[in-house]
C-alpha cells in the first residue's frame, strides 16, 4: 500500500535514506606504530577486497602512503582520495578518513576528524595510552565523536588487560566498557570471550601469519576447559577478571557510547587477525551512520540539518594545493552532510553569496582524477578549487545556513619567518596570506607589525610552508624557531599586562592580542599576576 502511494520524489528519498544508513564515515586515531596501517589492511582483507594482506604495507620504517594503495585500487575498484578511502564492508559502505600521524601531524589531522562520525582508537597493549592518542581523543571529545577502542598487539607481552582499562578511563576521562575479554596474552593469546553471552572464539595461527583470514573455533566459556586448548590457569584468570568486571566494570550502552560517555573496548591482534573480524562487525553495527549536524541559520538561530530531509549540503574540511604541479589549483575536500550529490550540480556558496557549478568532482585513481557521479551523506568528494573555497565553507542547494566553523587548534610551535631577499616581500606576503587562508599555518604579527610569526601544531606545517613559498611563490625564507610552547588570547589592555619572563605579545590574523608562553607554568603565573586581564585558551 505504502509503496503504491509513493511518488517518484519519495522513492528517491528512500534510496537516499538507505544509502545514508549504510555509510560509516570514521577515522582511526592512534599513536604511530600502534597498528593503524595493519588494521586498515585487515579491513580490506575481511571486506574481501584483497585476498592476502601484506602487499600494501611499506617496508620497515616506510609507512604506507596514499599512493601505495593505488595499484590495488585500480584492480579492485576501491576509491581513494588523498583524504579518504571508500569501500564496501558486508552491508556497509565504509569511508575511512586519512588522519596522518607522527611526522605528518598537523592541523589537517584535527580538521579531518571533524568530518568523521566515529573513531576507532587503536592502542598498543604494551604501551597503553600514548601522547598522540590523547591529543586526537581530545578532539573527538570536543566534537562529541563516539570512539571505539581496540587494544591491539595482544599476541605480544603486554600490560594486564584490567590495567589497560583503568588507564583509558584515567588518562582520557571516559568510561571504558569491555565488550570482549582476552583469553591469555602474549604467546598464550588464544582467543576472546564475548561478555554479553559468554561465547568464546579460539583462533589458530595460519601458516601465512596474518596474511589470510584466521580460523575460528566457537564454543561457550563453560566448554573451554574440556577443549584442551587452553590451560586451566588461563581459564581461571579469565573467570577471575570477568567476575571483577561484573562487579566493578562499566555496563555498555549504545546510547552512552553515541553520546561519547562510554567507549566499548575490544581485544585483538591485528597482525595475526585474532579478534579482528568480530571487532569489525561490532564496529559496523555500533558506529553511527551520518546523523543531523548543527548549523547556524542566516537569522542567527541554531538549526539541525537532517542528512536525508535536507537537499545536498556539504562543507570544506581540507584544502590541498598543487596536486597537479602544472596548475595553481588546489583541491577542496568536502564532506557531504545531507542529500544526494550529483555531478554538475549548481549550489550556493554561502560565504561568497553566489552560485557555483560542481563540475569536476573527483576521487584520485592512480594519480589520475576520476570523476565522481554521485555521493551521499558521509561521503568525501574532492573539487578542483580555483581559489573559490576556504576551509570551513558551506555549500548547499537551499542556502540559508552555515555549518559550525571548524575549531582553531592551540598551536604548540612558533617561529619567526622572513624572506631572505627583501625584494621578494610582496610575493612573500601574498604567499603567506594564501597559506593562512588554506590553514597551512596560523599567522601572527608582532604588535608593531614589523615581524611575521607562524604558529602550528606540528613541525611538518612549517616545512610545508617553506616548501610551498619556494615552489609556488619563488621566495626563499629563513625560519627561526621560538621557544614558546603554548598561547592564550589576552582580554584587557596589553599596555598594563605584566608579562612573565619568556613570553611575548603578538596579534593573530583577526587582530586579537595573543600571549605566547614558554610553558604552561608561565601561563598560570601570568593569570595570577594579572587579575584584571583574562587569558583565554584557544580552541
Least gap, CB of 369 to ligand G4P (angstroms): 27
In the bound state with ligand G4P, the residue whose beta carbon lies nearer, of 32 and 161, is: 32
In the bound state with ligand G4P, the residue whose beta carbon lies nearer, of 100 and 439, is: 100
Least gap, CB of 382 to ligand G4P (angstroms): 23
Least gap, CB of 272 to ligand G4P (angstroms): 6
Least gap, CB of 501 to ligand G4P (angstroms): 39
| Residues 392/315, Cβ–Cβ less than 8 Å | yes
In the bound state with ligand G4P, the residue whose beta carbon lies nearer, of 211 and 284, is: 211
In the bound state with ligand G4P, the residue whose beta carbon lies nearer, of 57 and 445, is: 57
In the bound state with ligand G4P, the residue whose beta carbon lies nearer, of 154 and 513, is: 154
In the bound state with ligand G4P, the residue whose beta carbon lies nearer, of 43 and 237, is: 43
Query: How many Cβ atoms from other residues are within 10 Å of residue 504's Cβ?
Result: 18
* CA distances in angstroms from 410 to 366, 413, 468, listed in the order given: 36, 9, 23
153 grid coordinates: 598487539
Least gap, CB of 206 to ligand G4P (angstroms): 14
* DSSP per-residue letters across 293-326: EEEEETTS-EEEE-TTTS-SEEEEEEEEE-SSTT
Say which residue the cell 593469546 belongs to: 189
> Distance (Å, rounded) from C-alpha 35 to C-alpha 42?
11
In the bound state with ligand G4P, the residue whose beta carbon lies nearer, of 60 and 510, is: 60
Least gap, CB of 40 to ligand G4P (angstroms): 8
In the bound state with ligand G4P, the residue whose beta carbon lies nearer, of 30 and 461, is: 30
In the bound state with ligand G4P, the residue whose beta carbon lies nearer, of 119 and 432, is: 119
Q: Give me the residues paired with residue 332 across strands.
A: 319, 383
Least gap, CB of 28 to ligand G4P (angstroms): 8
Strands (E), 113-165: 118-124, 147-152
Least gap, CB of 98 to ligand G4P (angstroms): 11
> Distance (Å, rounded) from C-alpha 303 to C-alpha 29?
29
In the bound state with ligand G4P, the residue whose beta carbon lies nearer, of 152 and 530, is: 152
In the bound state with ligand G4P, the residue whose beta carbon lies nearer, of 187 and 448, is: 187
> Distance (Å, rounded) from C-alpha 170 to C-alpha 177?
13
Sign of CA dihedral 336, 338, 343, 344: negative
By the criterion CB under 6 A, which residues form the site for ligand G4P? 30, 32-38, 57, 60, 152-153, 155-156, 269-271
Least gap, CB of 57 to ligand G4P (angstroms): 5
Least gap, CB of 151 to ligand G4P (angstroms): 10
Q: Kindly tell me the burial class for residue 282, based on how many C-beta atoms sit within 10 Å of its own C-beta (0-12, 13-18, 19 or more).
A: middle
| Residues 112/26, Cβ–Cβ less than 8 Å | no
Least gap, CB of 433 to ligand G4P (angstroms): 35
* CA distances in angstroms from 394 to 17, 251, 397, 535, listed in the order given: 22, 39, 10, 31
Sign of CA dihedral 466, 413, 26, 152: positive
For residue 181, the 8-state DSSP code is E
Least gap, CB of 158 to ligand G4P (angstroms): 10
> Distance (Å, rounded) from C-alpha 106 to C-alpha 457?
6
In the bound state with ligand G4P, the residue whose beta carbon lies nearer, of 269 and 385, is: 269
Q: Give me the residues paired with residue 295 across strands.
A: 303, 403
In the bound state with ligand G4P, the residue whose beta carbon lies nearer, of 39 and 372, is: 39
- Give every CB contact of residue 240 below 8 A, 6+ residues apart in sequence: none
Indicate the length of the chain as a whole number: 539
* CA distances in angstroms from 207 to 185, 188, 202, 315, listed in the order given: 20, 17, 16, 47
| Residues 73/375, Cβ–Cβ less than 8 Å | no
End-to-end CA distance of the chain: 52
272 grid coordinates: 595475526
Say which residue the cell 530531509 belongs to: 309
Least gap, CB of 186 to ligand G4P (angstroms): 10
Amino acid at each position: 500500500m505504502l509503496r503504491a502511494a509513493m511518488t517518484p520524489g519519495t522513492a528517491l528519498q528512500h534510496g537516499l535514506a538507505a544509502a545514508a544508513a549504510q555509510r560509516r564515515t570514521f577515522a582511526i586515531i592512534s599513536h604511530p606504530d600502534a597498528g593503524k596501517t595493519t588494521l586498515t589492511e585487515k579491513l580490506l582483507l575481511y571486506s574481501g577486497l584483497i585476498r592476502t594482506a601484506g602487499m600494501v604495507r611499506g617496508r620497515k620504517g616506510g609507512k604506507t602512503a596514499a599512493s601505495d594503495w593505488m595499484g590495488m585500487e585500480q584492480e579492485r575498484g576501491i576509491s581513494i582520495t588523498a583524504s579518504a578511502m571508500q569501500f564496501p564492508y558486508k552491508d556497509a559502505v565504509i569511508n575511512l578518513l586519512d588522519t596522518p600521524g607522527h611526522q605528518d601531524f598537523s592541523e589537517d589531522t584535527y580538521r579531518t576528524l571533524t568530518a568523521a562520525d566515529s573513531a576507532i582508537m587503536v592502542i598498543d597493549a604494551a604501551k597503553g595510552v600514548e601522547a598522540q592518542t590523547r591529543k586526537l581523543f581530545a578532539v573527538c571529545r570536543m566534537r562529541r565523536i563516539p570512539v571505539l577502542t581496540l587494544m591491539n598487539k595482544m599476541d605480544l607481552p603486554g600490560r594486564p588487560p584490567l590495567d589497560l582499562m583503568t588507564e583509558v578511563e584515567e588518562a582520557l576521562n571516559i568510561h571504558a566498557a569491555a565488550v570482549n575479554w582476552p583469553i591469555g596474552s602474549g604467546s598464550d593469546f588464544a582467543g576472546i570471550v564475548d561478555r554479553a553471552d559468554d561465547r568464546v572464539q579460539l583462533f589458530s595461527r595460519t601458516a601465512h601469519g596474518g596474511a589470510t583470514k584466521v580460523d575460528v573455533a566457537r564454543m561457550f566459556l563453560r566448554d573451554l576447559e574440556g577443549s584442551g586448548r587452553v590451560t586451566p590457569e588461563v581459564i581461571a584468570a579469565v573467570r577471575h577478571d570477568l567476575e571483577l568486571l561484573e562487579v566493578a566494570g562499566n555496563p555498555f550502552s549504545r546510547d552512552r557510547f553515541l553520546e561519547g560517555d562510554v567507549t566499548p573496548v575490544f581485544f585483538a591482534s591485528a597482525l595475526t587477525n585474532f579478534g579482528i573480524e568480530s571487532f569489525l562487525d561490532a564496529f559496523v553495527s555500533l558506529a553511527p551512520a551520518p546523523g543531523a549536524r548543527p548549523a547556524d541559520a542566516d537569522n542567527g538561530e541554531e538549526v539541525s540539518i537532517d542528512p536525508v530531509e535536507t537537499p545536498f549540503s556539504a562543507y570544506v574540511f581540507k584544502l590541498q594545493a598543487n596536486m597537479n604541479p602544472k596548475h595553481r589549483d588546489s583541491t577542496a575536500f568536502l564532506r557531504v552532510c545531507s542529500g544526494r550529490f550529483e555531478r554538475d550540480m549548481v549550489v550556493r556558496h554561502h560565504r561568497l553569496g553566489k552560485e557555483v557549478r560542481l563540475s569536476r568532482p573527483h576521487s584520485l585513481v592512480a594519480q589520475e582524477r576520476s570523476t565522481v557521479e554521485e555521493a551521499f551523506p558521509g561521503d568525501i568528494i574532492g573539487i578542483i578549487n580555483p581559489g573559490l573555497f576556504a576551509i570551513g565553507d558551506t555549500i548547499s542547494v537551499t542556502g540559508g545556513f552555515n555549518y559550525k566553523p571548524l575549531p582553531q587548534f592551540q598551536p604548540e610551535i612558533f617561529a619567526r619567518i622572513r624572506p631572505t631577499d627583501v625584494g621578494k616581500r610582496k610575493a612573500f606576503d601574498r604567499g603567506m596570506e594564501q597559506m593562512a587562508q588554506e590553514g597551512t599555518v596560523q599567522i601572527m604579527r608582532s604588535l608593531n607589525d614589523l615581524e611575521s610569526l607562524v604558529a602550528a601544531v606540528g613541525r611538518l606545517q612549517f616545512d610545508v610552508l617553506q616548501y610551498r613559498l619556494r615552489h609556488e611563490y619563488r621566495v626563499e625564507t629563513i625560519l627561526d624557531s621560538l621557544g614558546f610552547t603554548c598561547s592564550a588570547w589576552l582580554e584587557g589592555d596589553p599596555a598594563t599586562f605584566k608579562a612573565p619572563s619568556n613570553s611575548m605579545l603578538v596579534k593573530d590574523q583577526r587582530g586579537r592580542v595573543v600571549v605566547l608562553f614558554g610553558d604552561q607554568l608561565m601561563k598560570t603565573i601570568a593569570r595570577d599576576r594579572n587579575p584584571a586581564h583574562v587569558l583565554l585558551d584557544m580552541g
